[in-house]
Structure 1
Amino acid sequence: MFDIVPPSAIREGRATDAYFDRTLTTLTDADVDPHVVAEVTADQFPTGNFELFTGVEDAAELLSDRPIDVDALPEGQLFDGGPVMRIEGRYTEFARLETALLGFLSHASGIATNALHARRVAPDSQLLSFGARHVHPSMAAVVERGALVAGFDGFSHVAAGELLGKEASGTMPHALVLCFGAGEQEAAWTAFDSAVGEDVPRIALCDTFSDETDEVLRAAEAIDLDGVRIDTPSSRRGDFRHIAREVRWRLDADGFEDVDLFLSGGIEPTDLRALRDVADGFGVGGYVSNADPIDFALDIVEIDGEPIAKRGKLSGEKDVYRTEEGGHRVRPASDSGTGEPLLEPLIRDGEIVREFDIDEATERALADAERVGFGTGD
């Protein structure tokens, strides 16, 4: 058995904080169950720092089949303050779901936001998500979906690919080369070339035993390469940009101009900025998978039609809009906002009324990032 809360516990509301159980006990005992409007927000007002909304499909599955209505931003929408989701119904119908709901939205949106930072820094590079090894295995599909929504070209995790309907990418680890022994790199590369299907790119890992340039050229001579990957550990890396430039120079000089160069190993936006002109692609791991969750909270803002809120929160139902200038506007729902309204129906009387498509979410994220100028200061 693994330390994994099963889907049944999440769906049934048992993946909750204890005080919600006690709240329900108290409300039931007192025969109190108001009709409420509750909103999920990170910031009450725009701060100038946009974030990317994901996790909405899991949230919809959690909230469905209950007599409530839910509106939410579409997956791949950027936001800056105000509600990303609005729930209306009897409070007891969804009270125990708050813990899981915020977890679905907070973690996924943090991952996708960091992935979008990486994508915007290196818009013309091939980016692959390599970070599933840094998180609990049950989180792998969340990581890979967030990377895809942010515009990554692929990911490494096999089971996540099966769940998302996408094929995982990847060729060889250092372990493969090590298994053939020191000095036998050619044997490892040629064995790989013979064993794997024709649809698998021939990308050789070239920094296991000797100098990167030496191994790259040996690999290019040994098999018909699509590319090479350099994953030199930071303790031996030195000037990584100089290494990459030297590798590229030697490949071109020896007639291997068509062999692509991929870099991996602790890659962050600062590295992408410094290396994007000397490499064709990158494996990005911990920067995406280890992203801080977005600090979402769920708050009641209306009871039985009357605005109400705890101190520090804005009472009353609200809407959010994208202005023509690319701004984010938060207004009371009773006002007619200026701009494009962003909250859309998600659930009506317990039924999910929206379809989910990762490719459409990606298009939305990249277009909205351009519109709001996301990451222009990176």
Structure 2
Amino acid sequence: MTNPFGTVPPEAILDGTATDAYFQRTQTTLEHAGKNPHVVAEVTADQFPTGEFEVFTGVADVATLLEGRAIDVDALPDGQLFDGGPVLRIEGSYLEFAALETSLLGFLSQPSGFATAALEARRAAPDSLVLSFGARHVHPSIASVVERAAVLAGLDGFSHVAAGEILEREASGTMPHALLFCFGEGSQAAAWEAFDEAVPEDVPRIALTDTFWDEKAESLLAAETLGDDLDGVRLDTTGSRRGDFRHLVREVRWELDARGFDDVDIFCSGGLGPEQLRNLRDVADGFGVGSAITSADPVDFSLDIVELEGEAVSKRGKLAGKKDVYRTPDGDHHVALADADAPTGGESLLEPLIRDGEIVREFDLDAASERCLADADAVGFGVSGEENV
């Protein structure tokens, strides 16, 4: 059976049938009329800088989509933060890329949203271990998109095994509540011992300690059961049951320390977002973040023609003319016409991606992550959230 889960196949994305119907009808109409103008089209979310930065990613997939077509493309680097102006620019005959607009925007919009949310989590707990646990909230065919966005934004790992194979990284995670249920109440120690005996030595021994009994009681039992082999405990307590989660974590820390288990880390998960991470980062050692990333709104990119046969044009509400975007020394963005002078000390951010159909850029996830984190420092991303500490 082919395509058993009903997803759009890669062939449809590449040949342009993964598109909105009106692009196909536009293509048919232009071909009938013998029109195929030379255009400049730009992808933007906001026309002018807003001061609210987001992460740009998905550009490697866009390059694959546009490869082999007689166009030139410039784009921001993977992992760059932006707050207005073009993030990608296409020059060429319109029919070369007309039917690809839907897929192109999808390749950018959702991954950029995921990465921005993941960066918010990273900045909320910069010195903590933070893992992406959100793959269960999205269609499995895009799990690697979520996990790549998380790594790009600086998270320390993720849980999805197949995504790890694609990204060439080891998936993280130890045990679900189901393991404890299979052993039964009163047999938690047997479950933890079996786990310790069964899994490879390089897997951290993190015991889930909120299944049947009080979190303090199960955490102490785990520490007593595994002794020096225990690396940490995970509190995944449902929000409706945990009350003041910070107080609960502090109680567990106190009881472990009081009995000589001060080297046992505390890992928290379960509906956590940036606000909770800021509140817990001084009492917990690590976090699993899921829906705070996967429920992120896609970045609302649109693609618009801004130049037609060498003449500046625009629809109402958009800015005409081929543009460039700069990072100024104070960390702001500056948008200007491409033939205008650059601002003093400004760094042009649009870089060649495709020239006459050939990809002229290499992609490296580690380099993109370093860029993202450095840029977050440069523009002060997430600094306002410190008010919640």
CA distance in 1, matches of 2:264, 2:17: 53
Counterpart residue number, 2:26: 23
Query: Which residue pairs with 2:257 in the alignment?
Result: 252
1:301 equivalent to 2:306? Answer yes
Q: Which residue of 1 aligns with 2:370?
A: 363
**1:147 is aligned to 2:154:** no
Out of 203, 206, 215, the residue aligned to residue 203 of structure 1 is 206
Q: Report runs of 4+ in structure 1 exceeding 4 Å deviation.
A: none
Query: Structure 2: which amino acid aligns with 1:335?
Result: A
Determine helix, strand or coil for the equivalent of 2:5: coil
Partner of 1:175: 178
Report deviation, 1:177. 0.7
SS in 1 for 2:383: coil
Gaps of 5+ in 1: none
> For each residue in 1:39-64, what CA deviation from the matched residue of structure 2 results, as whole angstroms up to 9, or x when unmatched?
00000001110100011111111111
Is 1:316 matched with 2:316? no
Distance 1:103 1:255 in 2: 52
Alignment TM-score, normalising by the size of structure 1: 0.99
Cα displacement (A) at 1:167: 1.1
Does the residue aligned with 1:278 lie in a helix, a strand or coil?
coil
Partner residue in 2 for 1:373: 380
Deviation at residue 71 of structure 1 after TM alignment: 0.4
Unmatched 5+ residue regions in structure 2?
A: none
Q: How many residues align?
A: 378
TM-superposed deviation, 1:135: 0.6
SS at match of 1:377: helix
* Residue 336 of structure 1, CA deviation: 2.1
Quote how far apart the aligned CAs of 1:239 are.
1.0
Q: 28, 37, 41: which one pairs with 1:38?
A: 41
Query: 1-side partners of 2:294 and 2:355: how far apart?
Result: 33
Partner in structure 2 of residue 343 of structure 1: 350
Find the counterpart in structure 2 of residue 48 from structure 1. Answer: 51
Structure 2 CA distance, aligned partners of 1:154 and 1:58?
22
Deviation, 1:262, is 0.4
**2: CA distance, partners of 1:167 / 1:355:** 23
TM-score, scaled to structure 2: 0.96
Partner of 1:280: 285
Alignment of 1:97-116 (within 5 A): 97-116=100-119
> Which residue number in structure 2 is paired with residue 266 of structure 1?
271
Q: Secondary structure at the match of 1:330?
A: strand
Q: Equivalent of 2:220, from 217, 221, 232?
A: 217
